[in-house]
Chain A
Amino acid sequence: MRPALALRPASRGGSVDLSRGLFVLATLVLAAMVILPLGWLIVTSLSGPQGPTLDNYRTLFTDATMVRPFLITLGSSAVVAFACVLVAVPMGWCVARTDMPLRRQVRILVMASLVTPPFLGAIAWELLAAPNTGFLNQLARAVFHLDRAVHPFNVYSVAGLTFVNFLYTFPYAFIFVANALERIPADLEDASAILGARPAQTAWRVTLPLILPAILAGALIAFLQSMTVFGSAAVLTLPAGFHTMTTRIWSLFQFPPKPALAAAASMPMLLLTLGLLRAQQYVLGRKGYALVGGKGTRRAIVRLGAWKWAALAFCGVVLLNAIVLPYGALLDAAFVKVPPALPTLANLTLAHLHFVFFELDATQVALWNTMILALGAATVGTALALVVAYLVVRRAVRGWQLLSFLATAPLAIPSIVLGVGLFLAYTRPPLLLFGTLWIMLIAFVTIEFPAAYQQLASVVSSIHPELEEAGQLLGATRLRVLREITSPLMRSGVVAAWCFVFIGAIREISAAILLFTAPTRTIAVVIYDLNESGDTGSIAVLGLLLMVVTFAVLMVANRVPVVATAAEELRG
């Protein structure tokens, strides 16, 4: 007996399966984004005036002006990685596992230093520790009655660069460590205690081994970041007269340009990045348990007693250097007549603000460019990431592995290397994009896309496929399921990904510095230009503007439930 009310099936006629077409399209776009610049990079690095040659690579290893920057970068980055571990492990532990006061605020300030663009941090530290005018030097001279020629602090040095890079990379290590510590269920440590281990023994034999992969991963990321950073290096090394790998590559584009040598010089950085990322995956893959598993049920909080003030002081000193002093210096520079000088009623001025917004021609264009590029990159990048993440996570098409490889490949390409590649790929027919906003857009999308992809992939995989299948069985076509079930569930994740790409794009400088021309300057580029001419007041204004926009977007993202939960998790 069929029920009298038997309803006809809801959908008739063929439903178009778009996945194949989308797959082909996405693959082509990603391939163009990744393979084109890398291909030209390799080809150019192997070519000389008389055809194919290895001369460029030979120069790399013999010319002292190429070898020295390489060694400086490796040495400085190694110190940065080491310092990051030394600071991030105790700080992460204090925040995640003790009753230290102001834990939440400490965490928020660490996040603030994470979103501070390193070139802005470097400029702020110029204000603080430039040999002659730096605040700290002036202060030291006044307190200790030193001679005018004496300068205890000199940020224009390898040590200065290492210090500044450390300040803006330790948050990566901190996040890894703090999250790992939070995810260790107290049971694991209790189990050790019940067998008779003293707290120190438990920490040494259980807790530390559990977070060791996180520590290693954090150190590797810190190393990578500090090796590939361009902004802070350019700000600090050029006055000092030495180079890092990135500034040396940049200098090869100055007159007379040597793009072939620049391409060859990009290779060691590319290979090192690839190697280190593989190493990180290996470390996390084998012993990633502390990072993956769900949130621990309960975590043991250590009572520090009077020591909690020492712990707080330690965190305070780090954050003083990373946040309080630099932002103080920038604020001061934005509003005093001749920075750097202590603000008094007499020398406060709005002249810099007026100059930046109403007199400096470059600002208007740069603001406009930055806005267009950031909006464009965020929208294009998120849309592309969404399609790719869906196809890959749902394994909707054959060949999804290829897509997933292409989507994460840009992670292994340092921005400046990508800049070189894009420069080489688009300064020749058929795609003469150099000098247009398009090339900048391609660069920004390529650089920021993988992060959006990873975020959205985790959003898609958090949506159980059965939720979609249930809709389909009730009679909805695949497209309708996407519209009515998948999209509403992903909305907040998409907004978050969009915000992250946006923030990344408004501060990008490593690739932009090789690709901009006067009409396509962005705010970051203008800041860099102004720094060369020593106009610190205007820099401070623009830098603070950049940060205001960044924090505003972050606030919006924070209002979106999924980001709020993610942030909640970060905070614990």
Chain B
Amino acid sequence: MATLELRNLVKRFNGSAVVDGIDLTIPDGAFVCLLGPSGCGKTTLLRLVAGFIAPDAGEIVVGGTRLSAPGTVVPPERRGMSMIFQSYALWPHMTVEQNVGYGLRLRALPRDQIAARVATICAATQLDPLLHRYPAELSGGQQQRVALARALVVEPQTLLLDEPLSNLDANLREEMRFEIRRLHDEFRYTTVYVTHDQGEAMATADLIVVLRAGRVEQAGTPEEIYRRPRSEFVARFVGGANVLPGSFAGLDAPFSIRLEDVALLAAQPAVNGTPYLPGTVVRRVFLGSARDYVVEAGGELVRVTTPPHVDVLPGERVWLGFPPERCHRLEHPSAGE
């Protein structure tokens, strides 16, 4: 089994801790996203897992075997892992077929077996017409597929992906994130996926680990992270949210509420139940499927997303509602500075 355990992992560069005491258990066959802004240590963490760098403290254990600890690191080539690099790292002097088959040649498989497996994986990744092309002759999306095929053909226990979609245009990115998830479900390896794009994380992961300054800010299912962010940082970074003083919703601590969960009414509501707060529209943006408002209320600027038919002009008076079941009291308000 390939349960991946990170135990109190620390990595310092020039004295400052880039990875600062990370504890994490990734179940066998899970799809985990390491999510965070640039500089949060997510790529360093991935390279620690891959074995390219050695930790300064802590250890990495896979399926009960210790792979990394300070001073003793099993080299990358003996970890049974595969990786998709941000640059794809396709070898320009090898054809698609040679790139994909490389890992199998290293394992000294018979020629016909190599050919058969390359054919299988290339069928799964829709590369069969391109076998004899060189990387320079492929589009970005095709290069991405080659990188995937090359990583998967050796049947890794763990697949590591380092911002794999950041070089693709928006449409292709959407297509490839489903492709990556589909292949994961087909082959059931453990996937560790590094990204700064919360949409990618939401769409693919079983488990999202939000990283900040080398530490785990929050780990949970996409739904948990979205619905119950534990800090202002998570609330804002994942999905975007208003963080408002507790008085707005009758709470004793600051709370977060999603943009689409704030109710916006053009007229004073008759019912008393949900507390409503008067405010003034400051900005209105039409987004096609929705409208995005900024409302000044109670000395705060509140962002609200409404259906497109709710149409109020800037400067007009509105009433904002904060349904209690959508208001999430922040456990770590201090983490939001």
Contact = CB atoms under 8 A, between A and B. Distances in A.
Interface in B199-237: none
Contacts, number: 92
A485 B98 CA distance: 12
Interface residues of B, number: 35
B77 A9 contact: yes
Given A10-B103, A11-B78, A489-B92, A474 B85 contact: no
A241 interface: no
Interface string B165-196: 00000000000000000000001110000000
Interface stretch (A127-135, A149-157, A307-315, A464-472): A464-472
B24 interface: no
A467 B102 CA distance: 12
Contacts of A471: 91, 102
Given A2-B2, A475-B77, A466 B86 contact: yes
- The majority secondary structure among interface residues of chain A is loop
Contact of A470 (B1, B85, B93, B155): B85
A7 B155 contact: yes
A480 interface: yes
A466 B50 CA distance: 12
A1 B103 contact: no
B92 A472 contact: no
Contacts of B106: 10-11, 474-476, 480
Interface string B99-128: 000110011100000000000000000000
Contacts of A464: 87, 89
A477 interface: yes
B1 A2 contact: yes
Size bracket of the A interface: 20 to 34
A473 B46 CA distance: 13
Nearest to B84: A470
Which of A2, A470, A480, A489 has the largest count of B CB atoms less than 10 A from its CB? A470
A467 B135 CA distance: 12
Contacts of B93: 488-489
B52 interface: yes
Interface in A447-476: 464, 466-467, 469-476
Contacts of B189: 3
Nearest to A15: B75
B188 A1 contact: yes
B144 interface: no
A2 B106 CA distance: 21
Interface string A5-38: 1111111100100000000000000000000000
Contacts of A5: 155
A474 B82 contact: yes
Contacts of A7: 107, 154-155
B320 interface: no
Contacts of A2: 1-2, 157
B155 A3 contact: yes
20 contacts: A1-B188, A2-B2, A2-B157, A3-B187, A6-B155, A8-B107, A11-B77, A12-B78, A466-B87, A469-B76, A469-B89, A472-B75, A473-B77, A473-B82, A474-B150, A475-B103, A475-B106, A475-B107, A476-B102, A489-B92
Interface of B: 1-2, 29, 50, 52, 75-83, 85-87, 89-93, 102-103, 106-108, 150-151, 154-155, 157, 187-189
